[in-house]
Structure 1
Amino acid sequence: MQKSVSIISPEPLFNSRITDLIIDIEYLRRKDTQSTVDPFIYNQLRDIFRDLDSMFSARVDGNKTGLSKYLEAKEDDPEAKGRKTIEIDKASEAMKIIDENSNELVFFQGFFTELHRTLREGITNESSRFAGKYRHTAARPELPGDTSPAYHLVETFMDKLISYITKKETPKFEAIKVAFAHQRYLWIHPFREANGISARLVAYAMLKKLGFGGIPNRILNPTFSFCWDTEKYLKLVRKADNGKEKDVFAFLEFALEGLRDDMQRMDNLLNYDLIRDTILRPSFKHPIFERLFSEQDRLILDVAMDKQVFQAADIRMLFPQKHPTEISKMIKWLRDKDLIIGIDENARRYSINLENKYLVKMVVGKLERGGFIPVS
């Protein structure tokens, strides 16, 4: 009986809230938002959000690594990292691979198995043994009444999902397609483990491929979009397993609301004045930096924050009486402290290093307090 099940996009009524959300999402997707953030700064923010989304995605699946603990663990030697941190790092790396190859992405069986292999290989001997291999057992025996396909039908249903994902749709149905494909993937439960985190990465790949980053290539966060309320997400996504229209629409409305809200939040980060005034400047006022910096260091960092990308000549304007070699030493001191970073091979241009081990914690704290990290 399960073999006859097809995967078809549900069509909401014109006057439904889902339709309103689709209209909002399409507006954001097509909006020609001009970014005032230097690409080097923005890509650092993208790296930070990639790690954050991966961490919260792992938490949805039961990895309870806390934010502070994860940020501290990132500084550890790779050989010393624990399994839970490695899981998050692998998810972040998978997101990066998707980012770098979004235009060339092709959805086929090998895409899903290779994505899963990227996530699971090398964590434990057991995870490596099953990495990239469809399950050969029942999907979720712990869930009463689980309707996921029997293991021998997984490949058949993945073919159906691939046909659904790759079928050309009118743009207005593409947001629904991403959310519904996410739910159906979880229902199929193709792998022995890591189905949740891989499902969110599949959704991410679809969002990137379909251009939901828009003209400014905004940051997209699949977990912050679809799992902004973890308890509600798990309840709705599982209830929609039954395929009943009412339950499917309930999940789609929840997911599309999260996607719209995340796109709106990320558009705020295209405004550099907001980043500088609400994230960077307050971060550098933390006592740890007050003790670390001299007055001239603060002046240089003020230039870095104001200009985003600066050169030695910009610093010489602050200290016209100083010899160029002294200016170079001042810049080198901040580079050695990992607070600024060269952005080209000759290191003639510099920028704030948002991923400095102290600064990143302050930045993440400001992002959290500013409502950019919505997961509950």
Structure 2
Amino acid sequence: MNKKYELPPVDFGSDLVRYAFEVERLRGDLGNGTTPARTLTELHALFRLVMSVVSARIEGNRTTVYDALSELPPLGSAAPVESDALREITNILDGIDFIDATDPTTPLSHIFVRELHRITVDGLRREGDSTPGEYRRRDVSIAQSAHTPPSHVYVHAEMSELLDFVNRDMPTHQQMIHAAIAHHRFVWIHPFGNGNGRVSRLFTYAMLRRNGFDSIPGYRAVNPTAVFGNDRDGYYSALEAADDLSPTGTIGWCEFFVHGLRDDLARLIQMQDFTFLTERLIDPAVDRLIASGGATAAEGSALKLAARSGVVKAGDLEPAFSGSPSQRSLAIRSMLERGLLVRDESGPRFYRVSLARAPLGPYVIRQLDELGHLPRILRDDRRSRD
């Protein structure tokens, strides 16, 4: 195997080793919290949208997360997306779904990678590719980069070598370094005519699933895109420094990746503290929704009750809605029609709070921002929600 797929020698006392051990310590804390699994599932749906916006934003898409929440079709809808900018985001969402539907123990293959590309560029004009799902057939250069990717003649062979490396079984303490190197080498090869950045981030998400994050219920929200969106300039700078494939450049890139993942995991672990989640995130978001006129005080009380219970029936919301059962049913129907509540998988008479879409979703995003839980690349998306 080429030396570019050897793990670099790392001093045991280095920052990289310290970050890697901290990631493993934090990973051990995942799944041990008090937040109900269904609430984590709602958060995952919200985070997957946020990360899709971030991935598109890194490539220059200016759609705000608020626009995505309000303009994208409801979850599960087959309605077409006309806007090219929104289609780019929905394609990334489809890529995440494709990965989530794949057995994480299945080795990553050429077919898998090319399908990720086909999904990512499907139907796009500005950020599409003339050969979706196929490796590039011409030599390319990368704008504002000194690195020249390998000739198209060698792309398949280079990708075969990368996939051999990706599918190696690694000791737990080396898995984050393994994923970091694979991400850089993918971008270094630049296997497609366009869409390499978006596909590389999806590819690395798939690697994290292979490395065990998918086995923790509700924590598919662990997505490396948050790391890259938190410091876009640092992301590109660290990638470029590793382009000479030297141990020094590779270690610097791995430090950037693992350090960022550690910080993101720490934020996610806060979300498994149900008291923190309800008091610091959901309740303030509901209060903002009420203040905006998007919900009545009674509906706000019902949302807070449902958030604390995870799943509710009509009778559970009696403290919020005084009056007869038929009046309560009408109030619940109105909340369902407006997307404040959604039907739970338990049955048609079971409901839960909808955190992942409008009208509550934008206020959850605003509160996440104030808590410091959003990548910095979304900072310009701020607008008054009070």
TM-score, normalising length: structure 2: 0.89
In the TM superposition, what whole-angstrom CA distance separates every residue of 1:298-355 from its partner, at most 9, and x where no partner exists?
43233223322211222346667x4332322222222222211110363221111113
Q: Which amino acid aligns with 1:17?
A: D
Residue 160 of structure 2: aligned partner:
159
Q: 1:318 to 1:161 in 2, by over 3 A?
A: closer
Partner-residue secondary structure (3-state), 1:285: helix
Q: 1:178 to 1:21 in 2, by over 3 A?
A: same
Residue 384 of structure 2: aligned partner:
none
Q: CA deviation at 1:125?
A: 9.9
Residue 241 of structure 2: aligned partner:
239
User: Retained in 2: the 8 A contact 1:107–1:162?
Assistant: yes
Q: CA deviation at 1:48?
A: 1.0
Cα distance in structure 1, aligned partners of 2:44 and 2:199: 19
Q: CA deviation at 1:370?
A: 0.8
* Matching of residues 40-189 of structure 1 within 5 Å: 40-75=38-73, 78-79=79-80, 81-124=82-125, 127=128, 129-140=130-141, 142-143=143-144, 145-189=146-190
Cα distance in structure 1, aligned partners of 2:200 and 2:133: 14
Residue 260 of structure 1: aligned partner:
262
User: Retained in 2: the 8 A contact 1:29–1:213?
Assistant: no
Q: 1:224 to 1:296 in 2, by over 3 A?
A: closer
Q: 1:149 to 1:11 in 2, by over 3 A?
A: same
Cα distance in structure 2, aligned partners of 1:21 and 1:298: 41
Residue 326 of structure 1: aligned partner:
327
Q: 1:295 to 1:228 in 2, by over 3 A?
A: closer
Q: Which amino acid aligns with 1:30?
A: G
Cα distance in structure 2, aligned partners of 1:292 and 1:125: 36
Q: Which moved more, 1:164-173 or 1:280-289?
A: 280-289
Partner-residue secondary structure (3-state), 2:352: strand
Partner-residue secondary structure (3-state), 1:364: helix
* Matching of residues 199-348 of structure 1 within 5 Å: 199-212=200-213, 215-218=216-219, 219-286=221-288, 291-316=293-318, 322-344=323-345, 346-348=347-349
User: Retained in 2: the 8 A contact 1:30–1:214?
Assistant: no
Percent sequence identity over aligned pairs: 25
Q: 1:248 to 1:344 in 2, by over 3 A?
A: closer
Partner-residue secondary structure (3-state), 2:339: coil
User: Retained in 1: the 8 A contact 2:53–2:63?
Assistant: yes
Residue 372 of structure 1: aligned partner:
373
Cα distance in structure 2, aligned partners of 1:268 and 1:47: 17
Q: Which moved more, 1:328-337 or 1:139-148?
A: 139-148
User: Retained in 1: the 8 A contact 2:307–2:353?
Assistant: yes
In the TM superposition, what whole-angstrom CA distance separates every residue of 1:182-201 from its partner, at most 9, and x where no partner exists?
00000000000110111111
Q: Which amino acid aligns with 1:43?
A: T
Q: 1:269 to 1:89 in 2, by over 3 A?
A: same
Partner-residue secondary structure (3-state), 1:130: coil
Cα distance in structure 2, aligned partners of 1:257 and 1:46: 22
* Matching of residues 21-36 of structure 1 within 5 Å: 21-31=19-29, 33-36=31-34
Partner-residue secondary structure (3-state), 2:63: coil
Cα distance in structure 2, aligned partners of 1:350 and 1:144: 51
Cα distance in structure 1, aligned partners of 2:294 and 2:148: 59
Root mean square deviation of aligned Cα? 2.5
Q: Which moved more, 1:182-191 or 1:362-371?
A: 362-371
Tell me if 1:37 matches 2:35: yes
Q: 1:5 to 1:33 in 2, by over 3 A?
A: closer
| Runs of 5+ consecutive residues of structure 1 not aligned to the other structure | none
Q: Which amino acid aligns with 2:235?
A: Y
Q: 1:102 to 1:366 in 2, by over 3 A?
A: farther
Q: 1:243 to 1:175 in 2, by over 3 A?
A: same
Q: 1:24 to 1:338 in 2, by over 3 A?
A: same
Tell me if 1:195 matches 2:193: no
Q: CA deviation at 1:100?
A: 2.8
User: Retained in 2: the 8 A contact 1:35–1:216?
Assistant: no
Q: Which amino acid aligns with 1:186?
A: V
Q: 1:339 to 1:56 in 2, by over 3 A?
A: same
Cα distance in structure 1, aligned partners of 2:145 and 2:94: 35
In the TM superposition, what whole-angstrom CA distance separates every residue of 1:236-278 from its partner, at most 9, and x where no partner exists?
1012111111111111101100011111111111122222111
Provide the aligned length of Structure 1 versus Structure 2.
373
Q: 1:296 to 1:67 in 2, by over 3 A?
A: closer
Partner-residue secondary structure (3-state), 2:130: helix
Q: Which moved more, 1:194-203 or 1:291-300?
A: 291-300
Cα distance in structure 2, aligned partners of 1:143 and 1:136: 22
Residue 381 of structure 2: aligned partner:
none
Cα distance in structure 2, aligned partners of 1:291 and 1:145: 53
Q: 1:4 to 1:291 in 2, by over 3 A?
A: closer
Cα distance in structure 1, aligned partners of 2:40 and 2:105: 23
